Structure 1
Amino acid sequence: MTATTHPAADPAPDVRLASARGRWILACVVLASGMAMLDGTVVNIALPTMGRDLGASLSVLQWVVNAYMLTLSALLLWGGALGDRLGRRRTLMLGVAWFAGASALCGFAPDEGTLIAARALQGVGAALLTPGSLALVRSVFHPDDQARAVGAWSALTGVAGALGPFLGGWLIDGPGWRWIFYINVPIAAVVLAIALRHVPESRDAGTADTPFDQLGAVLAALSLAGVSYALIASSGGASVVSTGLPALVGVAAGAVFVHVERRRTAPMLPPSLFASRLFSAANGMTLCLYAAIGGILFMLPVQLQVAVGYDALHAGTATLPVTVLMLLLSARAADLAHRIGPTLPLVVGPLVAASGVLLMLRIGPGSSYAADVLPAVAVLGLGMSVFVAPLTATVLASVEPARAGLASGVNNTAARVAQLLVVAGLPLVVGLSGEAYTRPAAVNSSFHRAAYGCALLFLLASVLAVLFVRPRHVRARAAKAPRPQCRAHCGVGAPALEPGDGR
């Protein structure tokens, strides 16, 4: 009789944070996460400069953002699963190398088509490295050090996010926008060198026999691509036929995706998760909140540079208060939500953020940073600091603890899909298309309409919290759920990743 062999279980995590190896591991994952975060925060600031340099229309700039978000959103859960199966260090290194190569291609891109394709490749690399960085922290550090290691990872990654707009603006105004991509190459080289020498391999032996849901990933990407293309093409004035066919393909792929996921034994997006009304409501809130965040942070740098007259450096640093407030307040908001429950923060936080967006109606030609821009971005940052950590807590509390990692991964995907769709659709809704993004008057009027729309999305999220997030229901579930790790910073771009996102 031949014995059935299974992969050996990884040894218990035993690396201490205070050791030299622990510091090297932390440096590796922080640099990897920071590289992806840096790229995400500076591209929006570079859009007006890219457009002038390439002679690109607004629809091209939308695709520069969305090509990255499309592949990242479609493959994020798959990337986490690949790390669990093949090894988290191996997958992280593959993602870092892929991201660096795609970044170099972005920098060398001679035309808009090459740049969009390279951005899509960047998204693939980000989908491989993003889930693995925090998962490595949780899988290699000693249990007594894991909370401090995750806190240090959060804080240091947050610092990278805070430095991103300043560094990006300096690069754009100095050596040029291509350097926001070139800078990833030396950072990636350092990450790979540290990983090879100091980071141990880890994997989840229990996933060895679990099949990948490749069909689900392909259908999800096709659905998002079809709908995004239709929205962006519509804002560019394309014909009904040329927009209707991609829209039809996108909707059909989405319908097939739902059908396939219901029938598969190991789906990428298990429909059973949505049997929880709280989970469904929390993800509905996520769609609203991150669509509002993505929309206003897409439009604001354009408004500041085109309508107000800021250079890229000043436009980048203008939004710095948002990240600083989240660095300072996210841990306190997480502690408050843990004590009183997430209901009140999820009602009040979006209302405060909506107030900040409405204050942006004062931003326009001749406006003052101290009197007009700073109060608006500060109030927006305060509102985001209030709701980001409680939103993660609600998602984790809405499912049984064994599925918390999967629930967090689905919630991250929902946040990125919301940003993908809002960047595709918002210019169409507010009447900004073609070359209009280069005209101050057109940008100013469109920005004000966008502010009203984003404020409405924040308000809708608050209403959903009132209707569906019941305090006693959340407290009962939260007693069994893992506490979210948001000790210093929860990402502006999406909720904080939890280990196991790809399972």
Structure 2
Amino acid sequence: MPHPPAQDHPREVAGHGLHPPADPRRWAALAVICLAQFMLVLDVTVVNVALPDMAADLRLDRTALTWVVTAYTLTFGGLMLLGGRLADLLGARRTLLAGLLLFTAASLLTGLAQNAGTLIGGRIAQGVGAALLSPAALAIVTTTFHGPERTRALGVWAAIGGTGSAAGVLLGGALTQGPGWQWIFHLNVPVGIAVLAAVPALVPARAPRPARLDVPGALLVTAATGILIHGLVRAGDDGWSDSLTLLALAGSLALYAAFALTERATRSPLMDLRMFTRRPVLAGSFLMLIATALLIGFFFLGSVHLQQVRGYSPLGTGLVFLPAAVAVALGAHLASRLVGRAGSRACAAGGLALAAAGTVPLALQTAGSSVYGVFLPGLVTASFGVGAVFVTATTTALAMIDHREAGLASGVVNTFHEVGASVGAAVVSTVAATGIAAGALDGFTDAYALLAVAATAGALVSLALVPRGKPRLTGGPHVH
């Protein structure tokens, strides 16, 4: 599709009203913004391959390793909606630059970490920066492009997710085996500085819009999820009947309840809970939660399993995971074509059933099983299915509701994306605790079995929860 020519006057687009003149810098701005978003997506998966080396260098136990993964996704997801409101209040460009500056500085701090506290603190700060940057970047994309160009721009934006996941596992392995795991964070610094320099020249400042900040809501939902993860991780060491484990889980439920009450009482809630009365949004949120939990579970377990039990190098582990990351993108591409023909329910149930089938060989593998004959085919099959579920989750939530609610639905679904990553890593870490501690296969196969059961249950739930019918495929907003 050719680029429409730039015009020097407002233009009328059928059904959309007047648009400002097309900015000649818009495609260069998109490239720079996508580069920033690529760093954020990369940092979800890039650390997984480096976990064993981090543990050896900094003497990290299983709990600390789990928080290295979850601290980033927890703050990213918990504060993302607040970041979107700040972009309205302060202006998208200003919020993007603030988030990028924080993310870049936090990356430097994380790479220089000499202990678990500094490492996890840096990951938390990275997540806060990402929560400011990502929604502001998406707001710039949706206001810079109009009509057919917006669909093309959002297509490029969506492709960043799959590309970032694939690059993360390979780049993480190469950097860890080469200059060291610190460089998976240090690499963000020159890229971040370059983007910081380019954004003011390419992205015009726009007037901020009035917005109310629901800070209590953001803090409550983030704290609730953090305490939930603490309880889940603690259960791996002290058991599910441990009093502090039970206290953490109960405290998490209480904070979630307080969050719900706060959102109902405030005039400008962070998350409009009435969106969950929309069946497509509820279904899309569920699918995003379970798909992300499965994918991060595979990456977390597989990277530690291959290096601790199978003796693979970081680069070798990254190469094993590369076909799986590509399979996620291929599954998403196929689902984007099938969902309009077969419908959301069939794609969701089929994708999760495929994920369950692929996970079964992982749960049944033995010490003598071939990595390339058993582990890799199962992982690729499961990843392909999960990729299909990602697209189905987004299209169900955004294309089967009123267009005026697409922005709210997008925020809800993307919050569940990051929460799913945090919870998925915590749960599989707990189930595989004995295997991680002893470098034994048994704990890992138990965790893979749990993922197979979760995918099977998800397929059954989706048959009842996901609406019948075919979504209206549009270029609706989404984060990644």
Q: Report the equivalent of 1:396.
A: 398
* Offset at residue 137 of structure 1 (A): 1.7
Is the CA contact (8 Å cut-off) linking 1:356 and 1:378 kept in structure 2?
Answer: yes
* Offset at residue 282 of structure 1 (A): 3.2
2:180 is the alignment partner of 1:176: yes
What are the within-5 Å matches in structure 2 for residues 119-130 of structure 1? 119-130=123-134
* Offset at residue 177 of structure 1 (A): 0.8
Which of 441, 445, 450 in structure 2 is aligned with 1:448?
445
Distance 1:29 1:314 in 2: 31
Distance 1:159 1:242, change over 3 A: closer
What SS does the corresponding residue of 1:497 show, helix, strand or coil?
coil
Distance 2:330 2:208 in 1: 34
Structure-2-length-normalised TM-score: 0.89
Q: Report the equivalent of 1:220.
A: 221
Distance 1:432 1:59 in 2: 9
Q: Report the equivalent of 2:167.
A: 163
* Offset at residue 389 of structure 1 (A): 1.2
Distance 1:363 1:24, change over 3 A: farther
* Offset at residue 446 of structure 1 (A): 1.3
Give the letter aligned to residue 323 of structure 1.
A
* Offset at residue 193 of structure 1 (A): 1.1
Which of 293, 309, 330 in structure 2 is aligned with 1:291?
293
Distance 1:344 1:204 in 2: 42
Is the CA contact (8 Å cut-off) linking 1:95 and 1:129 kept in structure 2?
Answer: yes
Distance 2:261 2:148 in 1: 44
2:102 is the alignment partner of 1:105: no
Is the CA contact (8 Å cut-off) linking 1:346 and 1:386 kept in structure 2?
Answer: yes
Give the letter aligned to residue 289 of structure 1.
A
Q: Report the equivalent of 2:67.
A: 63
Which of 34, 41, 45 in structure 2 is aligned with 1:41?
45
2:467 is the alignment partner of 1:497: no
Distance 1:337 1:31 in 2: 29
What are the within-5 Å matches in structure 2 for residues 189-338 of structure 1? 189-202=193-206, 205=209, 208=210, 210-237=211-238, 240-338=242-340
Stretches of structure 1 lacking an aligned partner (at least 5 in a row): 1-10, 486-495, 499-503
* Offset at residue 384 of structure 1 (A): 2.2
Deviations 1:110-140 (A, max 9, x none): 1111111111111101111122223322211
Q: Report the equivalent of 1:489.
A: none
Distance 1:255 1:294 in 2: 27
Is the CA contact (8 Å cut-off) linking 1:306 and 1:438 kept in structure 2?
Answer: no
* Offset at residue 31 of structure 1 (A): 1.0
Distance 2:224 2:285 in 1: 19
Distance 1:296 1:282 in 2: 21
Size of the aligned set, in residue pairs, is 462
Deviations 1:220-277 (A, max 9, x none): 1221122222222232338934434433432222211111111222111212112223
* Offset at residue 431 of structure 1 (A): 5.0
Give the letter aligned to residue 316 of structure 1.
G
Which of 327, 340, 343 in structure 1 is aligned with 2:342?
340
Deviations 1:180-231 (A, max 9, x none): 11111001011111102111224663xx0x3111110111122112222222
Distance 1:378 1:459 in 2: 17
Give the letter aligned to residue 246 of structure 1.
A
Structure-1-length-normalised TM-score: 0.86
* Offset at residue 363 of structure 1 (A): 5.0
Give the letter aligned to residue 81 of structure 1.
R
Distance 2:161 2:251 in 1: 38
Q: Report the equivalent of 2:30.
A: 26
Distance 1:13 1:367, change over 3 A: farther
* Offset at residue 100 of structure 1 (A): 0.7
Give the letter aligned to residue 450 of structure 1.
A
Distance 1:230 1:203 in 2: 44
* Offset at residue 353 of structure 1 (A): 1.1
Is the CA contact (8 Å cut-off) linking 2:78 and 2:222 kept in structure 1?
Answer: yes
Deviations 1:469-501 (A, max 9, x none): 2424xx4xx45x84557xxxxxxxxxx528xxx
Give the letter aligned to residue 439 of structure 2.
P
Distance 1:385 1:422 in 2: 16
What SS does the corresponding residue of 1:471 show, helix, strand or coil?
coil
Q: Report the equivalent of 1:437.
A: 436
Distance 1:357 1:52, change over 3 A: same
Distance 1:162 1:27 in 2: 19
Distance 1:322 1:91 in 2: 34
Distance 1:157 1:391, change over 3 A: closer
Is the CA contact (8 Å cut-off) linking 2:288 and 2:389 kept in structure 1?
Answer: no
Is the CA contact (8 Å cut-off) linking 1:64 and 1:116 kept in structure 2?
Answer: yes
Distance 2:168 2:37 in 1: 12
Distance 1:275 1:393 in 2: 17
Which of 455, 458, 468 in structure 1 is aligned with 2:455?
458
Distance 1:113 1:91, change over 3 A: same
Give the letter aligned to residue 190 of structure 1.
A
Distance 1:203 1:295, change over 3 A: farther
Is the CA contact (8 Å cut-off) linking 1:292 and 1:458 kept in structure 2?
Answer: yes
Identical positions, percent: 34
Deviations 1:377-436 (A, max 9, x none): 2212321232221221111145322111111111111122122123223333x2515xx5
Is the CA contact (8 Å cut-off) linking 1:343 and 1:471 kept in structure 2?
Answer: yes
* Offset at residue 350 of structure 1 (A): 0.6
Q: Report the equivalent of 2:13.
A: none
2:87 is the alignment partner of 1:83: yes
* Offset at residue 321 of structure 1 (A): 1.7
Give the letter aligned to residue 458 of structure 2.
A
Is the CA contact (8 Å cut-off) linking 1:106 and 1:119 kept in structure 2?
Answer: yes
Distance 1:287 1:156 in 2: 19
Distance 1:190 1:105 in 2: 18
Is the CA contact (8 Å cut-off) linking 1:389 and 1:484 kept in structure 2?
Answer: no
Distance 2:311 2:175 in 1: 18
Q: Report the equivalent of 2:14.
A: none
What SS does the corresponding residue of 2:109 show, helix, strand or coil?
helix
Give the letter aligned to residue 401 of structure 2.
V
After TM superposition, what 4+ stretches of structure 1 lie above 6 angstroms from structure 2? none
Distance 2:445 2:409 in 1: 35
Which of 375, 378, 383 in structure 1 is aligned with 2:380?
378
* Offset at residue 286 of structure 1 (A): 3.0
